[in-house]
Chains A and B, each alone.
Chain A
Amino acid sequence: MTMLKRYTSHQIRNVANSMWLSLDPGHLALSISPLYEMLSAYPIRTAEIIGLTFQSATDFLTSETGQVIPVPENGDQPLAGFLFIQRFRSAFYGCILVEQGDPIVRRRFSAAHELGHYLLHFRPILESLPGDADLILAEGLTYSKDSPDELPSGKLAMVDSPNRDVQFNFIGNDLVEREANQFAAELLIPEAACNIIYESFSQKYGTKRQILTKRLATEFLVSAEAMRWRLATLKLQSS
């Protein structure tokens, strides 16, 4: 049984903050996080697919890698994001796919969520195994149909002997999903920037939650739902 590493909120924030270290300092003056540049620091390619499902994702990956990729169960389930990491004969391949039909702000959050899984959960697994151990790690991300405005959730899965085993074993739980969501929020709406801008905007626009949420969401290029959640977790909620 693969044990996933667990994190405190403080640790997740540190991992997210470390992403800024390699960037042009000019980005610090802006509130929109350069997620794509951050992602570019890792050997993970990104792409958008219209009608993203487990099946369409694995079709895409098969065409990319030339290898047959196992399809997790519920292959036709619509997805907002998909993370795929493969180590095969010591060669690494990583890919983040997002649903092209989703709004831009959701696509960014989905990509940031998947990056969080890679850094927080998949990379420690890769590092804990011998360098020549073959494996596949994946996650499909969904939004609840009943409450699409809530934050997304997914299931981590692993194939630890891809030569013999073509079945994904689910290894995640709700806690790791929350960690990935927190990471995405830390990355797209950094606490320090959020506090400063909230303070400034509160003086300028007042403290009504609905107004500040709408105003701040476009400042960070995130959805109003993600912004509302972030303000609540930072205890910056107002009247």
Chain B
Amino acid sequence: MSLDFIQNNGGCRLVVDTSQPIPQNYSSDSDNETQDEIDLGWEVSETQWHTIPITDVMDWRPSDWNESPIRFVDGKDVGQTVAWVRSPDGYPVPIRLAQIGSIVMTLNNGEVRRNYSTMERVVSMVVDPFRWDEIESFASSLQKNGIRLLPAYPLDGQATYEFEKLRRAAQNRSKDEMGVLEEAAIAQDDNTPTIVDGRLESRSGGFDRGLSPIFGVVKTHYRNYLHPAGMQVLYQLEAGQRTPFFSLTPFQRFPVLTWYLRLSDGVGTTPTWGFVRVEVSLDWFQNNRKDETFVNRLSRVIYEYRSKEKSYRRAPVSIHPIVRAEESLGSQFQPENRIIAQFYREAGL
């Protein structure tokens, strides 16, 4: 069965996916975080922030620490807007085709090995402008072709005719579903200390926030949580140093303790490059009576895992097991152009 829905609704190929600049009043994910609650005085008073070295932890070796994370979870979403159709009202609705997946790598005797992985092909798009029977038929046709339809919704929940908003909605939906696969990866064993690539909140369905030793390492920083003195400390960090930890309660109410850790001096790069933000569930931290010693040790372990591959562009903000996870998962994805060509063939485009 072909994907008649696309032809029936004036479908066109989108060969070059050029994203338009986002308008100033555009509401994005990070904008939603404006309701975050931040307490910078958790470890030290807000006025006494200073850099904290973590490489001189005495009488202790990361390899002997039984709380050292040995599982590493990563997700991948490789896709693009490949076509658009016309809604009954006449405005263009983008269709995004992607491969999404998640993976668990486990560290054993110094070797990082793949422990679990899953991958899928998905189409995400805003479907509500169309008749339900058309979408039902389209979803069935996709399913026959081994592709799952992900109904997407504009961020503000309002109907819109702005192509860019619809494109972002489709992209976010795909990323959300990748998050579900990451949750499934975490859930394979949520009792073993684990590092996930990214924020904890968006993967919180995979573990118990009060019981599971799951830690997030965030490479990309969309928002500044620090006060001016905190920013000064952040820029003063040298490799192997961290900021004081502070509490962060995002708008979806998953409170974490978090701190910045510099993995690389970032010589020759911008001063904002080379550090990661580490997240630990506040409930878990308190339930297990953890303190700055734990934070120093976890920071030290993450620092030891830092990527030293000079050829890897993101090495200054990456840890080696996650880089291996990305490589391993990427190798399971099919070449993007082949997937797209197959889609065009089925859609008659």
Residues of A participating in the B interface, judged by any CB pair closer than 8 Å: 27, 29-32, 34-36, 46, 48, 98, 101, 103-105, 107-108, 111, 204-206, 208, 210-211, 214-215, 218-219, 221
**Residue in B closest to A40 when the chains form the complex, CB atoms:** B133
Q: In the complex the two chains form, what is the Cα distance from A101 to B137 in whole Å?
A: 19
Establish whether residues A34 and B148, one from each chain, have CB atoms under 8 Å apart when the complex forms: no
CB-CB contacts below 8 Å: B144-165 with A: 144, 148-151, 153, 159
- Contact mask B178-194 → A, CB, 8 Å, 1/0? 00110110011000000
B contact patch SS: helix
Judge whether B139 is part of the interface by a CB distance below 8 angstroms: yes
Establish whether residues B140 and A211, one from each chain, have CB atoms under 8 Å apart when the complex forms: no
Establish whether residues A211 and B139, one from each chain, have CB atoms under 8 Å apart when the complex forms: no
A and B contact pairs by CB, cutoff 8 A, 16 listed: A27-B140, A29-B144, A31-B143, A35-B136, A36-B132, A98-B132, A104-B136, A105-B151, A108-B136, A211-B183, A215-B180, A215-B184, A218-B149, A218-B151, A219-B148, A221-B135
Contact of B132 among A111, A205, A206 (CB under 8 A): A111
Measured CB to CB, the closest approach of chain B to A195, in angstroms, equals: 18
Establish whether residues B132 and A210, one from each chain, have CB atoms under 8 Å apart when the complex forms: no
Q: In the complex the two chains form, what is the Cα distance from A105 to B139 in whole Å?
A: 12
Contact of A211 among B130, B144, B206 (CB under 8 A): B206
Establish whether residues B140 and A30, one from each chain, have CB atoms under 8 Å apart when the complex forms: yes
Contact of B136 among A36, A101, A211 (CB under 8 A): A36
Judge whether B205 is part of the interface by a CB distance below 8 angstroms: yes
- Cβ–Cβ < 8 Å partners of B118 in chain A: 204-205
Q: In the complex the two chains form, what is the Cα distance from A206 to B149 in whole Å?
A: 22
- Contact mask B116-131 → A, CB, 8 Å, 1/0? 0010000000011011
Establish whether residues A208 and B187, one from each chain, have CB atoms under 8 Å apart when the complex forms: yes
- Contact mask B201-216 → A, CB, 8 Å, 1/0? 0000110000000000
Q: In the complex the two chains form, what is the Cα distance from A177 to B253 in whole Å?
A: 36
Question: Quick one: given A32-B136, A36-B137, A205-B187, are A211 and B205 in contact (CB under 8 Å)?
Answer: yes
Establish whether residues A32 and B140, one from each chain, have CB atoms under 8 Å apart when the complex forms: yes
Q: In the complex the two chains form, what is the Cα distance from A54 to B135 in whole Å?
A: 26
- Cβ–Cβ < 8 Å partners of A48 in chain B: 131-132
Establish whether residues B180 and A214, one from each chain, have CB atoms under 8 Å apart when the complex forms: yes
User: Quick one: which of A103, A104, A206 has the most chain B CB within 10 A?
Assistant: A104
User: Quick one: which of B136, B139, B150, B153 has the most chain A CB within 10 A?
Assistant: B136
Establish whether residues B133 and A46, one from each chain, have CB atoms under 8 Å apart when the complex forms: yes
Question: Quick one: given A34-B140, A98-B132, A211-B183, are A104 and B127 in contact (CB under 8 Å)?
Answer: yes
Q: In the complex the two chains form, what is the Cα distance from A32 to B159 in whole Å?
A: 26
Q: In the complex the two chains form, what is the Cα distance from A214 to B187 in whole Å?
A: 14
- Cβ–Cβ < 8 Å partners of A111 in chain B: 132
Establish whether residues B136 and A206, one from each chain, have CB atoms under 8 Å apart when the complex forms: no
- Cβ–Cβ < 8 Å partners of B184 in chain A: 204-206, 208, 211, 215
Measured CB to CB, the closest approach of chain B to A232, in angstroms, equals: 17
Establish whether residues A221 and B149, one from each chain, have CB atoms under 8 Å apart when the complex forms: yes
- Cβ–Cβ < 8 Å partners of B188 in chain A: 206
Establish whether residues B187 and A221, one from each chain, have CB atoms under 8 Å apart when the complex forms: no
Q: In the complex the two chains form, what is the Cα distance from A98 to B135 in whole Å?
A: 15
Question: Quick one: given A218-B148, A218-B150, are A104 and B180 in contact (CB under 8 Å)?
Answer: no
Q: In the complex the two chains form, what is the Cα distance from A34 to B153 in whole Å?
A: 23
Establish whether residues A32 and B143, one from each chain, have CB atoms under 8 Å apart when the complex forms: yes
Other than the known A107-B132, A208-B187, A211-B187, what 20 A-B pairs have Cβ atoms closer than 8 Å? A27-B140, A30-B140, A34-B136, A35-B136, A36-B137, A101-B128, A104-B127, A104-B132, A108-B132, A111-B132, A205-B187, A206-B184, A208-B205, A208-B206, A210-B183, A210-B205, A218-B148, A218-B149, A218-B177, A221-B136
**Residue in A closest to B204 when the chains form the complex, CB atoms:** A210
Q: In the complex the two chains form, what is the Cα distance from A211 to B183 in whole Å?
A: 7
Measured CB to CB, the closest approach of chain B to A205, in angstroms, equals: 4
- Cβ–Cβ < 8 Å partners of A205 in chain B: 118, 181, 184, 187
- Cβ–Cβ < 8 Å partners of A46 in chain B: 133
User: Quick one: which of B132, B143, B151, B177 has the most chain A CB within 10 A?
Assistant: B132
